[in-house]
Amino acid sequence: MLADRQTPLKDTFQASKASGLLRLLTLRHKAPFVLRTLALEQMASTIEIRSLSAPALLFISLILYLLSLSEVAALILGVFAAIHLLAYLWVVNAAHNTHTRRQLLSAAVQVGDEIEEQVELENRSLLPLLWAELVDRSSLPGYSMSVVAALGSHSRRSWVNRTRCSLRGIYHMGPWEMLTSDPFGIFLLRQSHQADRDLVVFPPLAEVPAHVLPQASAQGDAHLFRANMRADSTKAFTTRPYHPGDPMRHIHWPTTARREGIFVKGFEPEARSIVWLLPDLEAGVQRGQGVDSTLEKEIILVASLAERLLIQHLSVGLFAQDASPVVVQPTAGLAHLWKLLKALSPLQANPEQGLAQALENVTQVVMPGHLVISITPSFDTGWIDAWKANHYASRVGLYVLLLSDESIRPLENQETLTHLRRRDIHAQIVDSRQIRPIEASYGALQRWEFKTLPLGKTIVVNKPRPASAAFRRGEQ
């Protein structure tokens, strides 16, 4: 019978106390070489010699027997040979009759979700399994199914591992190994299971401040050809030199009077039907650590902007300068959000690529008339000259969101904002403290919750979502 999946892990460890010393002796060093390889049930099983000391004693006893031909030497040789033969047959038997399985019962979709995995160890042989160690190589932080257990003949043991996902990313569940040995510690059986599965933990969403979103109602400047406006707009944010074709009613007379030349009002860029999101991943400009770092705030803000823009029926794309460029082509519809989230999940800070380089690279994939929204924690505006010198820059709209926090002085915020607007670049300040993740932003967090009834019975109130459902949703 399959053991109850709620069996505490401490019972598993107690069952292996008798073989603890043996395990320490046999697993202290890596096997010098592989003696035999077996291919069984989609896994690689190898029989390795744990230590050369036992084979060396067998070889020495053989030499003594050949030199003396005495009965004592023959007896010693026979004992060592029998031990080696018994040890070898023991691990061969274990290779054919020991089976390990793992099944992901529930999976995460967002930060804060709980995953649940069932692990089962089975011994189908008459011989007991003195000890078995499961070595897990999953990459999910804080998760491991590694454990030591002992089994009797024709028995199995199972247990459940649960872990709350605290960091976004794409992780591998697996591969894993099962290690066991013979009673004498001469040989080691290693069963390697190479099967693994990707687990995507999406970043949470947050409320986007109203002033951050591009205004869809404003006609504004058409950055492509600086065409005449088809309607008046009151959303002027800066002034710029007059260009032939600008209507006379847009002339800003106070600025014209103070400066040499004619200046007109600069308006917010019109909300394009195609928007590209460009996070600044330069490592040198990031501030803070962990979930409160500007990097995490950037990712959350990009994900939240993507959701809001898709709700407004815009086509949203992503360009990120990670270790290699990450490009998600613009598509409309909320179903596209999952593809964007999957691309955002593994992004990390890049020590080599700055915002100037990212802006130069993004012009190679965007089309004329598209709008690029760049999110950056950097208040260094040295990239402006390179952007203005880029001949493709005049064909696309640029909207910069400056991610501020308590380390940035209010005066510095205003100076940077004013400088960007004077250079005809629309920008807004976003306080990172306003970016507060929404719990259960993709639906109710799926964790185990229990309730004890007045009569003492415990029932399940809530349980994690099935792994199959989570993977189907993430692959949309």
- Render pLDDT for 421-459 as a digit per residue (tens, 0 to 9): 888 899 999 998 888 888 777 776 666 666 777 777 777
Summarize the confidence of residues 382-411 as an average pLDDT: 88
Query: What is d(CA 424, CA 426) in angstroms, rounded to the nearest whole number?
Result: 6
Is the peptide bond between 437 and the residue preceding it cis, with omega within 30 degrees of 0? no
- Render pLDDT for 166-220 as a digit per residue (tens, 0 to 9): 899 999 888 889 999 999 999 999 999 887 788 889 999 998 888 887 754 333 4
pLDDT for 42 equals: 64
Give 448's Cβ-side CA count (13 Å radius). Answer: 15
- Render pLDDT for 237-265 as a digit per residue (tens, 0 to 9): 567 787 776 778 888 888 888 887 888 87
Q: How far is CA 339 from the centre of its chain?
A: 14
First to last CA, the chain: 39
Measured from the Cβ of residue 271, the count of other Cβ atoms closer than 10 Å reads: 20
Confidence of residue 52 (pLDDT cuts 50, 70, 90): confident
Confidence of residue 320 (pLDDT cuts 50, 70, 90): very high
Summarize the confidence of residues 340-345 as an average pLDDT: 94
Lowest mean pLDDT among 44-48, 129-133, 440-444: 440-444
Summarize the confidence of residues 6-20 as an average pLDDT: 38
Left, alpha or beta for 267 (phi > 0: left; psi -120 to 50: alpha)? Answer: beta
pLDDT for 34 equals: 74
Summarize the confidence of residues 129-152 as an average pLDDT: 90
Locate CATH 3.40.50.410 in the chain.
Answer: 268-434
- Render pLDDT for 272-304 as a digit per residue (tens, 0 to 9): 589 999 999 999 999 998 888 999 999 999 999
Tell me which fold the domain 268-434 belongs to.
Answer: Rossmann fold (3.40.50)
Q: In the predicted model, is pLDDT for residue 3 greater than 70?
A: no
**Whole-prediction pTM value?**
0.71
pLDDT for 209 equals: 83
Enumerate the β-bridge partners of residue 257: none
Confidence of residue 15 (pLDDT cuts 50, 70, 90): very low
Locate CATH 2.60.40.10 in the chain.
Answer: 9-201
- Output 264 or 152, whichever has higher pLDDT: 152
Nearest-10 crossing angle of helices 336-344, 467-474: 100
Enumerate the β-bridge partners of residue 201: 169
Residue type, 431: D
Residue type, 412: E
Confidence of residue 466 (pLDDT cuts 50, 70, 90): low
What percentage of the chain reaches a pLDDT higher than 70? 79
Summarize the confidence of residues 18-43 as an average pLDDT: 52
Q: In the predicted model, is pLDDT for residue 4 greater than 90?
A: no
Summarize the confidence of residues 315-335 as an average pLDDT: 91
Q: Show the tokens assigned to 155.
A: 């028995």
pLDDT for 63 equals: 93
Summarize the confidence of residues 353-380 as an average pLDDT: 90
- Strands 397-404 and 426-431 come out as parallel
The CATH number fitting domain 9-201, selected from 1.10.357.10, 2.60.40.10, 3.40.50.300, 3.40.50.1820: 2.60.40.10
Query: What is d(CA 472, CA 469) in angstroms, rounded to the nearest whole number?
Result: 5
Mean pLDDT, the chain, as a whole number? Answer: 80
Going 324 to 329 to 333 to 339, the CA torsion angle's sign is negative
Place of tokens 């059986």: 189
N residues, the chain: 476
